[in-house]
């Protein structure tokens, strides 16, 4: 066949498009079926279809169609419709035939579909290319000049299918037009929380349209602006704000995860700022690397980053370890922390087995010390002298002096060499500047008092930013504070006193405190397993969630995670969650420093978001009153802090 195509008689007989499809302007003809396409000597043909190039002709059956402009895209009921349901199951998810360009939709997009009385909410977890005939997918018709034919191929013969992970469903309520009073009652129940989203227990019907979520959909799931609602990020497609319910967030322990360099510290700083501004709990932050209290510089762009003390003034109190200590060289803390020797329990030392290189016999020696000296075991043991001997005047032989470590060991049936080795290793702790027999002030009680009265405390480790000091101080301090909150809770339950103020304890490098070996021994492991029994919860921050005990991970209510490259870390973050298979790939493909995935009990459904930026706009938002911008916005940091917090 030449490029001239067909005879004139064939063209004369061709009906117009309006004859073949009278309603083509409102709907799309069924282009499914086999095809034939001819270009010069090249012909592509299947079934009743024939397309010719030259003075081209498109035939459906025996009815050629003229060269009129043909709109391929279906006119949807709503402009943001992206496709329609073509299959799926409750277990495996739904399949959606895409009706827009695949470039317009991304993995992780928040989508909605209405079917009958139910509205279904879900996420796009996969996109796949398909074809009605594999030949068209394998062979590219590069010589087709007509955009219509290319669109025809791409629109029907070649297509894109989405996989939708349906997470929640909600009653759409009565028709407001047919029964306004019943609708108003239903709306009141929705606003009061009596009616709301629930786990998916059915599937939508075939061919119902699927659309991108609008702002009302996002607010229906994650809440609108209000007390305790903090914008953590924005939806991927249309950038609607996604809010975290901070009142719910602090009811169970939570975690912030991400590989090194993904912005965990900025994300943690934002969440803490939200808690402080909304005043939903007091926060105790163990700042191992001195990042949260005072201003610093972003290593990526050298811009100044404001610390929480700068943002919130005296509402945030900064503590440092040891008298005369400074934070980041020049910043003076509000007070310093010293630990009394009587604060140490033998279990605190056993936690440091790796850091102190303790042997298996150390535990036996520590137990003997506790039995011999009670609460003052550390001070009394360090008064003993290793290697001290006396000489027998008659025989001239030496023997352990009464005040020696060896003499104590003999008296208590402990191996002498093991006792002396432990004494040498404990000297490292005893010599720490912040460890003293009698502190000048009870800083631990001061911290408790500040937390009880609505302030927040950041303990900066300064020059002591190593595992030994971090494990030791954080565990001792947390144990004492938890004990105080336990007493407050018991008085609340027994005598009807006011409930203690919720307390959130933030810890970095959490795997060092909550790994399978130590989690049962630390105060942190106890808190994680107690849920909110005593009004104390954890915020664990870590780049290696796989190093945290699985039981602890399963107790974390809310998980905010950036990109993770290790499969074990991804598995750990998804521990105990439904939909793990659908979420695994999404988590692995997050953009570093740009996107985070919200998961768990603290959010009604998992969702990836563009992370909020910790920048000048964020600082302004933190300064704005809860009702909106006010005269406070014109004040500098010191004036604003004094005005708001006194």
pLDDT in tens, 361-386: 899 999 999 999 999 999 999 999 99
Which range, 97-106, 131-140, 473-482, is most confident? 473-482
Asked if residue 91 has pLDDT above 70, the reply is: yes
Asked if residue 15 has pLDDT above 50, the reply is: no
Query: What domains are there in the chain, each with its CATH number?
Result: 8-65 (no CATH), 81-213 (no CATH), 244-338+439-614 (3.40.50.300), 342-435 (no CATH), 616-646 (no CATH)
Confidence of residue 625 (pLDDT cuts 50, 70, 90): low
Distance CA 457, CA 32 (A): 66
Helix-helix angle 264-278:616-623, to 10 degrees = 20
Over residues 35-43, the mean pLDDT reads 48
Asked if residue 84 has pLDDT above 90, the reply is: yes
Confidence of residue 75 (pLDDT cuts 50, 70, 90): very low
Over residues 505-515, the mean pLDDT reads 93
Q: Which pLDDT score, from 0 to 100, does residue 617 have?
A: 92
Higher pLDDT, 22 or 176: 176
Q: Which pLDDT score, from 0 to 100, does residue 45 have?
A: 54
Distance CA 564, CA 588 (A): 6
Q: Which pLDDT score, from 0 to 100, does residue 479 have?
A: 94
φ and ψ at 286, to 5 degrees? -90, 100
Average pLDDT over the chain, rounded to an integer: 83
Distance CA 270, CA 273 (A): 5
Q: Which pLDDT score, from 0 to 100, does residue 312 have?
A: 94
Taking only the tens place, the pLDDT of each residue in 162-187 is 999 999 999 988 888 888 888 888 88
State both tokens at 1. Answer: 């066949």
A 10 A CB-CB count for 605 gives 20
Asked if residue 256 has pLDDT above 70, the reply is: yes
Q: Which pLDDT score, from 0 to 100, does residue 74 have?
A: 32
Higher pLDDT, 103 or 62: 103
Cα three-residue angle 484-488-490, rounded to 5 degrees: 115
With a threshold of 0.85, does the pTM exceed it? no
Taking only the tens place, the pLDDT of each residue in 516-554 is 988 888 899 999 988 778 999 999 999 999 999 999 999
Asked if residue 65 has pLDDT above 70, the reply is: no
Over residues 448-465, the mean pLDDT reads 94
Q: Which pLDDT score, from 0 to 100, does residue 532 have?
A: 79
Taking only the tens place, the pLDDT of each residue in 307-347 is 999 999 999 999 999 888 888 878 899 999 999 999 999 99
Q: Which pLDDT score, from 0 to 100, does residue 159 have?
A: 87
The percentage of residues in the chain with a pLDDT greater than 90, rounded to a whole number, is: 55
The percentage of residues in the chain with a pLDDT greater than 70, rounded to a whole number, is: 82
The DSSP secondary structure of 15-56, one letter per residue, reads: PPHHHH-TTTTTS-----S--EEEETTEEEEETTEEEETTTT
φ and ψ at 183, to 5 degrees? -65, -40
């Amino acid at each position: 066949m030449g490029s001239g195509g067909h005879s004139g008689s064939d063209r004369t007989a061709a009906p117009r498009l309006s004859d073949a499809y009278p309603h083509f302007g409102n709907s799309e003809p069924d282009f499914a079926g086999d095809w034939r396409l001819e270009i010069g000597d090249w012909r592509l043909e299947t079934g009743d279809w024939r397309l010719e190039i030259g003075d081209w002709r498109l035939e459906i059956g025996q009815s050629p169609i003229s060269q009129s402009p043909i709109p391929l895209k279906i006119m949807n009921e709503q402009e943001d419709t992206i496709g329609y349901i073509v299959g799926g199951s409750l277990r495996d998810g739904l399949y959606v035939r895409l009706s827009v360009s695949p470039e317009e939709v991304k993995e992780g997009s928040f989508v909605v579909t209405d079917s009958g009385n139910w509205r279904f909410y879900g996420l796009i977890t996969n996109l796949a290319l398909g074809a009605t005939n594999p030949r068209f997918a394998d062979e590219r018709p590069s010589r087709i000049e007509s955009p219509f034919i290319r669109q025809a191929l791409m629109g029907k013969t070649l297509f894109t299918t989405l996989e939708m992970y349906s997470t929640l469903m909600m009653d759409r309520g009565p028709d407001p037009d047919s029964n306004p009073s019943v609708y108003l009652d239903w709306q009141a129940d929705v606003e009061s929380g009596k009616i709301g989203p629930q786990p998916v227990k059915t599937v939508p019907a075939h061919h119902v349209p699927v659309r991108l979520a609008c702002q009302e959909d996002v607010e229906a799931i994650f809440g609108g602006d209000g007390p305790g609602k903090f914008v953590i990020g924005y939806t991927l497609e249309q950038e609607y704000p996604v809010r975290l319910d901070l009142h719910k967030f602090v009811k169970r322990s939570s975690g912030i995860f991400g590989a090194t360099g993904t912005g965990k510290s900025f994300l943690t700083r934002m969440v803490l700022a939200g808690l402080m501004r909304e005043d939903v709990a007091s926060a105790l932050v163990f700042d191992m690397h001195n990042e949260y209290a005072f201003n610093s510089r972003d290593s990526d762009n050298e811009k100044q980053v404001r610390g929480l003390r700068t943002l919130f003034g005296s509402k945030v109190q900064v503590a440092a370890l040891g008298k005369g200590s400074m934070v980041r060289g020049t910043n003076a803390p509000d007070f310093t922390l010293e630990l009394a020797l009587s604060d140490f329990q033998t279990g605190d030392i056993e936690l440091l087995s790796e850091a102190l290189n303790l042997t298996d016999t150390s535990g036996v020696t520590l137990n003997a010390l506790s039995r011999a000296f009670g609460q003052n075991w550390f001070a009394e043991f360090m008064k003993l002298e290793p290697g001290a001997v006396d000489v027998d005047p008659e025989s001239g032989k030496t023997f352990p002096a009464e005040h020696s470590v060896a003499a104590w060991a003999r008296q208590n049936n402990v191996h002498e060499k093991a006792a002396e080795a432990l004494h040498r290793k404990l000297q490292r702790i005893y010599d720490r500047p912040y460890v003293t027999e009698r502190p000048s002030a009870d800083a631990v009680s001061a911290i408790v008092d500040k937390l009880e009265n609505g302030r927040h405390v950041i303990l900066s480790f300064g020059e002591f930013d190593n595992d030994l000091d971090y494990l030791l101080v954080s565990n001792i301090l947390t144990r004492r504070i938890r004990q105080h909150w336990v007493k407050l809770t018991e008085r609340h339950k027994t005598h009807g006193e006011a409930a203690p103020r919720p307390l959130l304890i933030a810890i970095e490098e959490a795997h060092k405190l909550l790994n399978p070996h130590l989690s049962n021994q630390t105060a942190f492991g106890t808190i994680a397993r107690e849920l909110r029994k005593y009004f104390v919860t954890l915020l664990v921050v870590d780049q290696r969630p796989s190093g945290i005990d699985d039981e602890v991970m399963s107790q974390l209510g809310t998980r905010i995670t950036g990109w993770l490259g290790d499969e074990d870390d991804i598995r750990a973050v998804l521990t105990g969650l439904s939909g793990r298979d659908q979420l695994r790939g999404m988590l692995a493909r997050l953009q570093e420093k740009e996107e985070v995935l919200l998961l768990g009990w603290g959010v009604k459904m998992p969702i990836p978001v563009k992370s909020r930026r910790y920048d000048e706009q964020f600082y302004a938002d933190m300064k704005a009153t809860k009702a909106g911008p006010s005269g406070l916005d014109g004040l500098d940091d010191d004036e604003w802090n004094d005005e708001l917090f006194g």
